[in-house]
Structure 1
Amino acid sequence: MELHHPIRAVARMTGIAVDTLRAWERRYGTVVPARGRRGRQYSDADVQRLRLLRTAVSMGHSIGQAASLTDTQLRRLIQRADEIGLDAVSMRNPQARREPSAILEPVLAAVDAMDYGECKRHMGRLAALMSPGELVHQVVLPLMHVIGERWHDGELSVAQEHMASALMRDLLGSLLRLYVPAPAAASVLLTTPSGELHEFGILAAAMLAAANGLSVFYLGPNLPAGEIVAAARRISTDVVVLGLSGDLWRRSVPQIQRIARDLPDHIELWIGGNIEAIRRSRLAPERVILLADFQALESRLSRLLIARRGSASSAAQRWKITE
């Protein structure tokens, strides 16, 4: 008997937001899932096709064009792109970019219009409908990607990019008020080094940490190395997470080296961003943990939570024995 998957499981397996899956099916007939008592039920073949479509769209093809192709044609299209390199595809086609999902369109329209109130209203509605994890993966990260691309291509002004960052800070504040960590929760300090002004990535990381029940200290971007170390010592955090963007990481290396040198040994140092370039350069201190993506971040956060619970359980057991 073939296994079928509900729409939320398919969203996780394919990386396509639930609303986008529904929109693709309604507008383009991408797949035709079975209907059961619990809603849409997707076959393994449906999941495989959706993964192919997502890859094609990420290469710059419109979903309307990709949906008209068979699975075999999609595989050939992706294979040809692999043979010449995705960078070459992007260079030949400056418009190649990830198509924003339908749920982001009102937010992006409000950013274009510099309408902060409308942005906040739409984001508040999405936050009320989604879990924090869904909000980060289906809204915040795709929004960060699209706004970053548009800013890089000159389609958004610095003011619009700053407005979007302010919106994310407000959203983070709401999450921190909503998800109060337990008194003994592990703590994470998040910031970017001096000169690193882009904070979308580190904001998203802070939201994930808050959603996972950790105590979050978000200090914003552009913080000198000495201040980062002093803050980490003062609050006795478990982890310092630094965000780096694009090709600017080289100028942050001396600061990273200083932070790694001066942080107490019990405080871990994690870095996310352009880590492949950092890894190849071999300039990062040995104690630094490089995070390839947000999935790697969540894996580390889970380990931290498990370790803290284990420590708390051991302490409680010792207390019982003492009594």
Structure 2
Amino acid sequence: MNTLALDDAAQQPQPEHLPNDWLPIREVARQTGVNAVTLRAWERRYGLIVPHRTAKGHRLYSDEHVQRVMAILTWLDRGVAVSQVKALLDSKSPAPVSPGNDWQTLRQTLLQAISELAERRIDDLFNRAMSLYPPRTLCEQLLIPLLADLEQRWQSQFGSQMQRMFFHSWLRSKFGARIYHNNRQLSGPVVLLVNQSDRPMEPHLWLAAWLVSSADCPVEVFDGPLPVGELALACEYLSPRAVLLYASKTLNLPQLPKLLGNIHCPILLSGPAVVIHHDQLPVYTHGIANLSLARDPLEAYGELNRLGLI
């Protein structure tokens, strides 16, 4: 949870002082999944949400405001940029829009900055995007397509390994810092995420960790595979609410029952390996009743939600 959000929440009047049916910003954030920083940015920059203000300046929201936030999320999930949403909400006959243009422009700008190893420019672009969009929207519309564009570019381009190491290191540091900060504010059992690939700094693992952390759930990330026995030992020490294994390549399928057999919390296997082994996984995991599958970070996040774990 962002520090500004915590400060804003701390300044809200107590519930007994609120008018009937009006909500403080912290409660709107809880109900909608849009953090307070983003709600304030939507208000200041685009006039998307205009809350009631008390004499002391506290923001209060009605049920209609909450429904408007949900309508904004519906448009964002369709790929519409936040700058275009107000006209769509306020018009009874919305004009056609080009939802992909703003996202495509931002991706191209980031691709150029990454190719030039321009860390500060990348950071500024991401910070602005993170203040305007919920994490799920940002992953779906920007980060996952950006990573796909980069992998395609890096197949044959000179300097690709340099760019990959630079950007993956930046991404892990960026999300790692946010996760660390969130963990200091949260309590309760963690979701344990383990990179079960032989390649370090798997960006989709860190996207999944950031999505889970942004749902006010503490996370622990092991950015490297654990041998048979040690994953169960880690679970014994951490008592996680769930384990997410990310695998980008082929797995040693005969080892899966031994690796996962002594883990008693829900297990989620995610990543390209789920697609690679789609037909074989049921054969090797039929005895693991607490196992679910997800192809990417968004599916993993959705499955954890479905199971009531975040």
User: Normalized against structure 1, the TM-score is what?
Assistant: 0.61
| SS of alignment partner, residue 224 of structure 2 | coil
CA contact (8 A) 1:242 1:270 kept: yes
Alignment partner, residue 80 of structure 1: none
CA contact (8 A) 1:6 1:41 kept: no
State which of 18, 26, 42 in structure 1 corresponds to 2:81.
18
Alignment partner, residue 57 of structure 1: none
Taking every aligned residue pair, what percent have the same amino acid on both sides?
19
Distance 1:226 1:284 in 2: 18
Provide Cα deviations, 1:122-143, integer angstroms capped at 9, x if missing partner.
2223223333333333332222
CA contact (8 A) 1:194 1:225 kept: no
In the TM superposition, 1:1-323 aligns within 5 A as 8-12=73-77, 14=78, 16-18=79-81, 35=87, 38-39=89-90, 101-154=104-157, 157-180=160-183, 182-184=186-188, 186-197=189-200, 199-245=202-248, 248-250=249-251, 252-261=252-261, 263-264=262-263, 266-274=264-272, 275-282=274-281, 283-286=283-286, 287=288, 288-304=291-307, 306=308
Paired letter, 1:168: L
Task: State the shift of 1:153 in Å.
Answer: 4.3
CA contact (8 A) 1:244 1:273 kept: yes
Paired letter, 1:240: V
Aligned residues: 236
Give ranges in structure 2 of 5+ residues lacking alignment: 1-69
Provide Cα deviations, 1:89-145, integer angstroms capped at 9, x if missing partner.
xxxxxxxxxx96212233221210122233223222322333333333333222222
Task: State the shift of 1:190 in Å.
Answer: 0.9
**Higher helix proportion:** 1
Structure 2 CA distance for partners of 1:213 and 1:35, relative to 1, 3 Å: closer
| SS of alignment partner, residue 277 of structure 2 | helix
Distance 2:87 2:134 in 1: 25
Give ranges in structure 1 of 5+ residues lacking alignment: 23-32, 55-62, 64-98, 309-323
Distance 1:42 1:161 in 2: 45
Distance 1:40 1:225 in 2: 58
Distance 2:124 2:86 in 1: 35
Structure 2 CA distance for partners of 1:176 and 1:253, relative to 1, 3 Å: same
Structure 2 CA distance for partners of 1:117 and 1:279, relative to 1, 3 Å: same
Structure 2 CA distance for partners of 1:106 and 1:279, relative to 1, 3 Å: same
Structure 2 CA distance for partners of 1:138 and 1:156, relative to 1, 3 Å: farther
Paired letter, 1:118: R
Provide Cα deviations, 1:64-106, integer angstroms capped at 9, x if missing partner.
xxxxxxxxxxxxxxxxxxxxxxxxxxxxxxxxxxx96212233
CA contact (8 A) 1:147 1:156 kept: no
| SS of alignment partner, residue 101 of structure 1 | helix
Distance 1:138 1:214 in 2: 23
